[in-house]
Amino acid sequence: MKDFINKLYQNHSLIYKVVLFLITTISIIYLFPKGGQFKYNIQKGKPWQYQNLYAPFDFAILKSDAELKQEAEEIEANAQLYFVEKEEVFAKVKEDYNQKIQTVLADSLALGFSKNRLKNFGLQFLNRVYKTGFLNKSDNDKLKENTLITLRQGNEARDVLSDNLFTTEMLIPTLQDYISKSNYGKLEDDFTNLFFEILEPNIFYDEELTKKIIAEEVANIVATKGLVTENERIISRGDVVEGERYEILVSLKKEYDSQLWSKSNYNWIVFGYTILVALVLLMLLLFLHRYRTEIFEDNIKLTFIFFNILLIIFLVTIVQKYWINYIYVVPIIILPIVLKAFFDARLGLFAHVLTVLILGFIVPNSFEFIFLQIIAGMVTILTVSELYRRANLFLSILKITLVYTIAYLAFSIIQEGNAQHLKWSYFGLFALNGVLSFLSLFLILIYEKTFKLVSDVSLLELSNTNSKLLRELNEKAPGTFQHSMQVANLAEASANEIGANSMLVRTGALYHDIGKISNPMYFTENQTTSVNPHNELPPYDSAKIIIGHVLKGIEIAKKYSLPDRIIDFIRTHHGTSTVYYFYKKQQGLTPEDIDIEDFKYPGPIPFSKETAILMMCDACEAASKSIKDPTAILIHDLVEKIINGQMNNGQFMNADITFKEIQTIKKVIKKKLNDIYHLRIEYPE
């Protein structure tokens, strides 16, 4: 049991990677839509590139969305309109009539009219109006001329022409005609005022019933328009996928998917998805193991990469499930932006391509989607740089949005044969995608705190010479501070020349000697007088103080929470080199009893281009101060001697740097040192 626990402890890093790999694979499979994959890629407007295709079974030809929409619109346009008669309105109007007719009757006495006959005369007109129906004015505006409508009266319904119903406009001429045919013409104004005061419409548009009937008719639309029988030829090799052929292929795909994703096939399909996803993630692990060993061995960085891949897949899955029309709004290019900010462009592009390949199983029109996203990812890697300059990111995202737009335009023309069927809303989606891509800046800040990573944005903040630690270095060890500034300039220029991370190496150079804060006067650049404290110490103790500034620097860096990537420069800027001056001095005192290891820095040696650049620039800048009368020849010989010595001592064995790059760095250092020490003209007194 104890041996088993020891093995687990010894291999805990590998076990963590396996668990991370399994969790990520299972999570991605869980997010996948529950459907199989049609084995043919249907590209509208392009020739059929497969063999002749015959129907594997009987299936119906489905109507397109446009056809179904057109049928639904025709049903709505030609739908029967339903109206309802409210019987209580007539009862209320008669009651009002019986109350207000008394005024008219009082006026009729002087004219000698019979009250009962006059009252019945008005009731007959009311009966005529409400037997025919009085249509509500606002509902009348919905009707065309002489429209046939269905009028519901209680439980009965009948079809009537809308022009046969009374409207407000019809009442005046109808009433005038009715009165003119009677003997009550002298009371026309009285009756007109009375009727317009009490009359109310009793026929109203039944919107709820009308919509219900329309919805039922739309729901009953037949979704198919034909049948393809088994073994019937669907399309031949070379035929253009368009028109009816395209509709039949789409119908076959939908029928195939519905039959494929059954309970009997479920486990096999999940198994197939698992193999493909695991293969993609395995390629990423192999890439990291082969070309990015330091990332592969760092479980935090590995978790960070897998987390971001899973996050992008999760976002696309959610949008695809609930808002499929907005699939191009998801800012997938955030992935290469973030990975490039924390690691490098090659890893960012590799991870982006693998992620897009996985997304091809999720999204519709997978070929178009994969093409657009890979092209956008390439443009991202080529254009996005120096994230701390917001203008650079803005211009890069503009270029990416433009590439999206051009690629979509080309795809649309290929598929439709012209540019008349462009979906202009897509251009808005691409623009929104670009806006959301700016979230990468916020994600980078969050990731820096969560995963303890370093981006160009944080490097810019650290390189500010007004930061607390650099101010302390300037106050306590001003000579070291000036030396660090000179080394930073040399290192930045060298990094730019060979394509290394100039911001990283500059920041590392500013902090590489912060350990000298503890004992500043033991370093020559800080000695302002002729007094040298090393004269009072044995060489062994002097070497110990000099070597100790590396460990002191690491302690101070951790105290001020500097990132590990900056601490790496402190650890490696002397590698495993020897404090040669004190070693030779001790050798002169006790030549027999001396161990060279006591005079060597603890290391490690540089393990990246950036740390190697710092070692070269630091040694050359410090040694150049020892030249009394610097000339171009002396500087050339000095730089060659120092860097060749570092190479011969194996200081760059672990650094991913070539001989050509080292020669380029030499040239940069020589030029910069010559610029620093160039002779000035002597001004007259």
**Spatial contact of 664 and 617, defined as CB atoms under 8 Å apart:** no
Q: Is the pLDDT of residue 492 over 50?
A: yes
| pLDDT for residue 685 | 56
- Looking at residue 572, its pLDDT comes to 94
Cα(327)–Cα(372) distance, integer angstroms: 12
Nearest to 373 by CA among 383, 358, 392: 358
Cα angle: 282, vertex 341, 400; to 5 degrees? 90
Range of lowest pLDDT (165-169, 295-299, 352-356, 588-592): 588-592
Mean pLDDT of the chain: 82
Confidence of residue 186 (pLDDT cuts 50, 70, 90): low
pLDDT tens figures, 298-330: 888 899 999 999 999 999 998 888 888 888 888
Q: Is 97 strand, coil or helix?
A: helix
Helices (H) and strands (E) in the chain, counts: 29, 8
Q: Name the residue type at position 541.
A: D
Query: Pseudo-torsion of CA 492, 496, 498, 500, nearest 10°?
Result: 70
Tokens of 527: 């000695």
- Structure-block tokens of residue 394: 């803005």
Q: 662 and 647 in contact (C-beta within 8 Å)?
A: yes
Res 257 pLDDT > 60 = yes
More confident residue, 240 or 183: 240
State the SS3 of 422-452.
Answer: CCCHHHHHHHHHHHHHCHHHHHHHHHHHHHC
Q: Is the pLDDT of residue 367 over 90?
A: no
Could you please report the per-residue DSSP string of 184-213? Answer: -GGGHHHHHHHHHHH----EEE-HHHHHHH
pLDDT value, residue 420: 65
pLDDT in tens, 435-474: 888 888 888 888 887 887 887 778 888 888 888 999 999 9
Question: What separation in angstroms does the CA of 369 have from each of 250, 297, 328, 359, 407?
Answer: 18, 33, 9, 9, 10
Q: Of 270-284, 518-532, 562-576, 634-648, where does mean pLDDT reach its minimum?
A: 518-532
Over pLDDT 90: what percentage of the chain?
25
Residue of higher predicted confidence among 36 and 564: 564
Q: How confident is the model at residue 259 (pLDDT cuts 50, 70, 90)?
A: low
Residue 459 CA to residue 470 CA, distance in Å, equals 14
CA distance 440 to 456: 13
Torsion of CA 327, 333, 336, 338, to 10 degrees: -100
- Cα(649)–Cα(643) distance, rounded to whole angstroms? 10
- Structure confidence at residue 22 as a pLDDT band (50, 70, 90): very high
Give me the mean pLDDT over the 357-372 stretch.
84
Backbone φ, ψ for residue 233 (5° rounding): -70, 130
The CA-atom distances, in angstroms, between 361 and each of 25, 282, 332, 367, 661 are: 14, 17, 15, 10, 43
C-alpha span between 306 and 341 (Å, rounded): 16
Give 512-555 pLDDT, tens digit per residue: 999 999 888 888 888 877 777 887 788 888 889 889 999 999 99
The domains located in the chain, with CATH, are 2-35+264-451 (no CATH), 77-217 (no CATH), 456-676 (1.10.3210)
- Determine phi and psi for 341, rounding to 5 degrees: -65, -40
**Beta carbons within 10 angstroms of residue 610's beta carbon:** 28
Q: 443 with 338: CB under 8 angstroms?
A: yes
| DSSP conformational letter for 599 | G
Residue 8 has pLDDT above 80, yes or no: no
In degrees, rounded to 5, the angle at the alpha carbon of residue 180 between the alpha carbons of residues 177 and 184 is 130
Q: List, for residues 87-115, the tens digit of each pLDDT value.
A: 888 888 888 878 777 766 665 555 556 66
Q: Is 61 helix (H, G, I), strand (E, B) or coil?
A: strand
Q: How confident is the model at residue 683 (pLDDT cuts 50, 70, 90)?
A: very low
Alpha-carbon distance 399 to 126, whole Å?
Answer: 75
Q: Does 368 score more than 90 pLDDT?
A: no
Instruction: Output the pLDDT for position 379.
Output: 86
Q: With cut-offs at 50, 70 and 90, classify the pLDDT of residue 681.
A: very low
Q: What's the rounded Cα separation, in Å, for the pair 508 and 378?
A: 29
What is the full DSSP assignment across 606-662? P-SHHHHHHHHHHHHHHHHTT-SS--HHHHHHHHHHHHHHHHHTTTTTTS---HHHH
User: Which residues does 59 contact at the CB level (< 8 Å), separation at least 6?
Assistant: 227, 228, 251, 252, 255
User: What is the distance between the alpha carbons of residues 491 and 462, in angstroms, rounded to a whole number?
Assistant: 16
Q: Does the pLDDT at position 432 exceed 90? A: no
Distance from C-alpha of 520 to C-alpha of 336, rounded to nearest angstrom:
44
What SS3 state is found at 227?
strand
**pLDDT tens digits for 56-87?**
777 788 887 778 888 888 888 788 888 888 88
Rounded to whole angstroms, how far apart are CA atoms 308 and 671? 43
Assess contact for 211 and 221: CB atoms under 8 A: no
Q: How far apart are CA 541 and CA 621, in angstroms?
A: 25
